[in-house]
A = this chain, B = another copy of it.
Amino acid sequence: VTRVHVWGASGYAAAEAVRLLEMHPALEVGVLESRSHAGSAVTEHFPDLRTLPYRFSDVGSVARAIRDGDVVIAAGAHGEAAAHVPQFLAQGARVVDLSADYRFDDNAVYGLTEWNREAVAGASLVANPGCYPTATLLALLPLLHLKRARQVIVDAKSGITGAGRKPTVGALYAEVARDIRAYGLEGHRHQPEIERVLAANDTLAPLVFTPHVVPLSRGMLVDAYAIYDAPTDDEAVRAAYVRAYAGSPFVRMLEPQMAPSVAAVVGTNDAEIRVDVIGTTVRVLCAIDNLGKGAAGQAIQNINVMLGLPEETGFDARAILA
């Protein structure tokens, strides 16, 4: 059983990682380091983790605890991981970083598992993708590999936990419950991340990316539209997706009459995808759990791959009506 420490453990993604680790047969929860929560019990902060006996530990505790072969999930704020991860690596730990700090760094492997399995398997440092890039790239890569687009439009809808657990006015119940909000209209941190991966895959196309917050705690739906000069062959498109995800247990290609559902993926590491060819446009819908496949789930999936375990190990829980 491999120990997994969580550094920066006070947020929603960290809590989801703890929940998943608890159910995992080959991983166990190590140290949960949190500056803000140090010394208090997990149960005081996360009602859904009420039955767990863990406590948050103080600054430096992960570094003190690491033994060779341990894994660290770095779940701190953007900009903070880079100051600590090198030490964790130097101590012999493997690291999956949930922040954006290493997503543009060639020393890290970009952990979009379905498209980077081999590199992840040998990695000591994995930069876990953002939730928007995960859903967008899962939706677009099979298509753009088949045929580069003239223009790509990505209209994304996210639950509010994607904004983290730091309290802000914009994340208050009374603000989120009554609105749909487009944001980042002048440019969003995730757009360069998406474009970098598209470019690395030689599939770059002009991209318009519009993220929205909807009244959901968790879950994400991305509607991606690729516009072409001429109609695309429907069968070829479907075949490309089936081929791309044939060995990917978490990606579910939906039959034509079904629509991806956030309710179907919340609490899981699954992605649901539906593709439609409409004239010279191809529309791809992709639903994921922003805290699952978009964060903690994909981190555990990557750890499975890094440790040589079957990719789906530990993901027995199902979505739950809630």
Contact = CB atoms under 8 A, between A and B. Distances in A.
Interface string A247-284: 00000100001011111101100101010101111010
A130 interface: no
Nearest to A157: B180
A38 to B, nearest CB: 16
A48 B320 contact: yes
Interface stretch (A26-34, A196-204, A215-223, A236-244): A215-223
A227 to B, nearest CB: 5
Identical subunits present: 4
A208 B259 CA distance: 16
A257 to B, nearest CB: 8
A19 B320 contact: yes
Interface stretch (A56-64, A137-145, A167-175): A167-175
Contacts of A279: 151, 206, 208
B216 A180 contact: yes
A24 to B, nearest CB: 12
Nearest to A229: B150
Contact of A48 (B208, B212, B276, B319): B319
A207 to B, nearest CB: 9
Interface residues of A, number: 83
Given A47-B179, A264-B50, A276-B185, A218 B171 contact: no
B208 A318 contact: no
A316 to B, nearest CB: 7
Given A214-B180, A223-B182, A321 B259 contact: no
Given A174-B12, A318-B48, A182 B227 contact: no
Contacts of A263: 47-48, 175, 178-179
A192 to B, nearest CB: 15
A215 B316 CA distance: 28
A146 interface: no
A161 interface: yes
A176 B181 CA distance: 18
A215 B215 contact: yes
Contacts of A153: 153, 155, 225, 227, 281
